[in-house]
Structure 1
């Protein structure tokens, strides 16, 4: 709580926060009957996540647009998740101090800063809450099976899937826990799979809904399958590296060329650890459960199936929020009880654990500072990554909103210099030039954007405004109509078109 307390003074980030909160008309109404109905019906942003929408509505109802309140709710969820994880692992393993070490790493690892400090990622901490709660409920179901306790597990799964579809792998995770530490594979293994069938069915439904709502799989064509698999393998290696050396963390990691050595090292590491986990299933069962928990929970966000942000970035810190639990579990269980057989050895292990946690506190505190506002966040992102055209574009947008037109124009120019087909930056360049009252120059950038993508309402609107500034009223009206045809809710284009028609009727 102390590490994350500074977020009470942090702002909204102009990167998804506007879509989830600050510019979302349904969320801005707070908790209303229409809003609740919308939350259950909408697949805006590609996912069916009604509980996440409702949590944002509740924040607006209580805090309005005071970003500090929204931030503190996310921190509260993270603190609760930490406590739940401690209780769940203590119940699972019976090892209280080892469970405490896992929970401490979960709470304080700098790779988790993004999930907690980014208001738009409320779905991470919310789905994590139900994921951990489902595991804890499952432990108590196993200890004393009953229909009521099983229904509690199912409810947690359903609520988790309604927060974020990442819970689709939870039935497999529960099977891993059945193997270790619950030791249920010594009995009727087939019954364990049958027991999970309702959960698998729920996961299948959620997966299909996610697939079809993500614009009917349009994003699946963004890169060849072999390229996506290679990126997933290398990203997995980078996630493992960052658990030990979490530096140069960025809100966006751009896709780029991957060296052969990176592929070989990552593939060999994954293969070696997987082989070791399988070979030593009986001797080191925690290695088997922890390693495959990490891999399986990471799979939906691996990039093999490219949804949302995975179109243009190779990895994301937020994707480790739950998967890292598997790796933390391995670290906590690595020292056998037979080695900790003297007070001196126990004290040495405790001292090492404390040092690791203190290092995490220091690193997380530093990483958190970069999230205080949009400009700070994206200035840091472009400083720690290469050829990050999306970060340059977002930095330019933030600078423009502060009235820093020259700096924003430079950032947008950097974006198109890195990626000449980046249509969004061309539109933004046109917008800056319109602000400078240079419609002829703005027109060229808007036309460039339209030549890349003919379905850009913002570009057509910009062309209309530029033409209107040049006195070409009838042409401008045609472009406003094009913008509205693509986006019927484009209010600015509707306003200009209405004004032109009124002036035409009343010269």
Structure 2
């Protein structure tokens, strides 16, 4: 017979092996353009780190509508190790996920004494298909990192309850703070500690003993203070990033209905993980159908009845498992709506542990009740193993949808065909692979489904402009600018489309508006200056303003960009200062040649000839 320590080691090795096998393909996958580029690929702070300046930035920024400095630090370390090799970043996520499964097993094993039930919970956690999104999406580093610190905090808390000591309590506090600094998802962890006091730590023998309850709450005050502070910072970050939905867009009644129904949808997907997607349409938004009053009432009543039944069962593990699931989902269940999704697989990462505990301990009780029936116990063990194998197989298959952005979004549309944002994201990906026709189709679908969303108009307009259909491009870009008038990019590209369509007077108005909204945007400054300096339309030409804008663009590029110097030379010529025009164009031509841009150098050569003859450059 194997010694207990040997059995635990075998369980640990088995957990690591099945998790690695289930998720192995992710190590070969690229970055997903949705968020991964903002978090890693295009984020200069991540590329610079870990420098003192970048590390400080991580603690002070609300970028991506979040405050999670330790997550930023982890991305910086990854970039130092792997640079832009996505496989390395994926591997870190997978390693952290494996560690989470092992720590979960270790903590449950320690506080419950139940080896095989703890192993089963950890195995389900490790390979359940609902956890693919957290592991396969580099941007969800915050989930795996926050959960690691959270599980370690549970272990530290359990040690403190057994042995006491300020050091152990401070360790718990620091690990909890690290979890919140990775992602604020676990703000409810102090309540989880309270649940664990009830079972399996048995520090609350009787719920009717008010004195004991008060003592258990009082000792957690520092933890609750951290939760409140983290919640306040999170709301500020999401409000600053525009992630919080207005009450007018998503009223409380709709949010409450969606929350109640989402609980049951999560349970359903836990039991039968099919039709998993990166995006689930929110009722009445993005083409979603509103929840019926009857379904809402049934969902709410069902939660109440289930809770009552759990308490009536007089099984502490059932109470804790159910309340763990309900409570840890509260921050993301949608009562405070963030984004446009109804629910998300990633939100279940730690909450499902509660349901897994209920199932594993229920199975354990069946085995204990029929201890003399070896065949029944064996059948229960085989059934448990088969569920783990089924989850691992499903995960290995489902993870294939994450092989690239196009595959991911196409799969999402098979589940939510009227998801405007998914059509839009797929359109962007198709543009990048030059599949213009399909991209146009998906942008049009996104626009038709959500006619008040500016992004589809913007992307469709840019695509049409690139295909030479300037009138239609201007029509869509104008609508994007009307919906979101303070977005400089909409005015900028509208200006370019109008100029392409032969409407320079309208074009210059929008180019100047783009400059007003973003005074340091070099491209907007440069395009506005060029049009004001070279237009053949006297009503548009404004040499003085052109000179001011062109000089600002050249200054921002340290007078080393041939394009901005080209516009500056044209502005000098339009102002009659041909000596400066020749001098500036000569420098621009030299820079273009040095950069290997022969086409630009040749164009500057033609303009130089005009300036030397005392003639400004005029475009039709």
Fold match, TM over 0.5? yes
Q: 5 Å matches for 1:90-129?
A: 90-129=109-148
Residue 95 (structure 2) aligned to one of 72, 76, 101 = 76
Residue 294 (structure 1) aligned to one of 308, 325, 338 = 325
2:228 matched residue in structure 1: 204
Tell me how far apart the structure 2 counterparts of residues 6 and 394 of structure 1 sit (CA, whole Å). Answer: 23
When the two structures are aligned, how many residues end up with a matched partner? Answer: 502
Residue 241 (structure 1) aligned to one of 263, 268, 272 = 268
Q: 5 Å matches for 1:356-505?
A: 356-470=387-501, 472-473=503-504, 475-487=506-518, 490-497=521-528, 499-500=530-531, 501=546, 502=568, 503-505=570-572
Alignment partner of 1:22 is 2:41:
yes
1:184-213 CA distance string (max 9 Å, x none): 012822111111100000000010111122
Shift in alpha-carbon separation, 1:475–1:382, aligned structure 2, 3 A = same
Tell me how far apart the structure 1 counterparts of residues 430 and 516 of structure 2 sit (CA, whole Å). Answer: 30
Larger CA deviation: 378-387 vs 471-480: 471-480
1:406-451 CA distance string (max 9 Å, x none): 1100011111121211210000000101110222211100111122
Q: CA deviation at 1:176?
A: 0.4
Q: What SS is found at the alignment partner of 1:211?
A: helix
Q: CA deviation at 1:16?
A: 1.0
Tell me how far apart the structure 1 counterparts of residues 506 and 571 of structure 2 sit (CA, whole Å). Answer: 13
Tell me how far apart the structure 2 counterparts of residues 95 and 131 of structure 1 sit (CA, whole Å). Answer: 21
2:52 matched residue in structure 1: 33
Residue 338 (structure 1) aligned to one of 353, 365, 368 = 368
Q: CA deviation at 1:471?
A: 5.1
Tell me how far apart the structure 2 counterparts of residues 488 and 74 of structure 1 sit (CA, whole Å). Answer: 39
Tell me how far apart the structure 1 counterparts of residues 148 and 429 of structure 2 sit (CA, whole Å). Answer: 32
Shift in alpha-carbon separation, 1:170–1:491, aligned structure 2, 3 A = farther
Contact 1:140/1:149 (<8 A) preserved: yes
Q: CA deviation at 1:365?
A: 1.0
2:559 matched residue in structure 1: none
Q: CA deviation at 1:145?
A: 0.7
Shift in alpha-carbon separation, 1:67–1:138, aligned structure 2, 3 A = same
Tell me how far apart the structure 2 counterparts of residues 441 and 91 of structure 1 sit (CA, whole Å). Answer: 66
2:350 matched residue in structure 1: 322
Tell me how far apart the structure 2 counterparts of residues 495 and 245 of structure 1 sit (CA, whole Å). Answer: 56
Alignment partner of 1:262 is 2:295:
yes
Q: What SS is found at the alignment partner of 2:485?
A: coil
Higher relative contact order (CA 8 A, sep 6+): 1
Q: What SS is found at the alignment partner of 2:430?
A: helix
Q: CA deviation at 1:398?
A: 0.4
Residue 155 (structure 1) aligned to one of 174, 177, 196 = 174
1:112-159 CA distance string (max 9 Å, x none): 000000011111111111111111111111110110000110011110
Residue 107 (structure 2) aligned to one of 79, 83, 88 = 88
Contact 1:460/1:483 (<8 A) preserved: yes
Shift in alpha-carbon separation, 1:33–1:476, aligned structure 2, 3 A = farther
Tell me how far apart the structure 2 counterparts of residues 83 and 389 of structure 1 sit (CA, whole Å). Answer: 39
Q: CA deviation at 1:385?
A: 1.6
2:309 matched residue in structure 1: 276
1:218-266 CA distance string (max 9 Å, x none): 5342311111111111111101111111111110111122234432332
Contact 1:220/1:305 (<8 A) preserved: no
Q: What SS is found at the alignment partner of 2:369?
A: coil
Residue 215 (structure 1) aligned to one of 220, 239, 250 = 239
Larger CA deviation: 475-484 vs 322-331: 475-484
2:341 matched residue in structure 1: 313
2:14 matched residue in structure 1: none
Alignment partner of 1:230 is 2:257:
yes
Q: What SS is found at the alignment partner of 1:246?
A: coil
Shift in alpha-carbon separation, 1:57–1:471, aligned structure 2, 3 A = farther
Q: What SS is found at the alignment partner of 2:273?
A: coil
Contact 2:124/2:388 (<8 A) preserved: yes
Contact 1:339/1:345 (<8 A) preserved: no
Shift in alpha-carbon separation, 1:456–1:414, aligned structure 2, 3 A = same
Tell me how far apart the structure 2 counterparts of residues 136 and 499 of structure 1 sit (CA, whole Å). Answer: 64
Shift in alpha-carbon separation, 1:486–1:131, aligned structure 2, 3 A = farther
Bigger Rg, structure 1 or 2: 2
Tell me how far apart the structure 1 counterparts of residues 508 and 59 of structure 2 sit (CA, whole Å). Answer: 37
Tell me how far apart the structure 1 counterparts of residues 457 and 385 of structure 2 sit (CA, whole Å). Answer: 50
Q: CA deviation at 1:472?
A: 4.8
Q: CA deviation at 1:18?
A: 1.5
Shift in alpha-carbon separation, 1:17–1:484, aligned structure 2, 3 A = farther
Larger CA deviation: 17-26 vs 341-350: 341-350
Q: What SS is found at the alignment partner of 1:328?
A: helix
Shift in alpha-carbon separation, 1:88–1:483, aligned structure 2, 3 A = farther
Larger CA deviation: 161-170 vs 482-491: 482-491
Tell me how far apart the structure 1 counterparts of residues 337 and 520 of structure 2 sit (CA, whole Å). Answer: 28
Shift in alpha-carbon separation, 1:481–1:215, aligned structure 2, 3 A = farther
Residue 351 (structure 1) aligned to one of 355, 373, 382 = 382
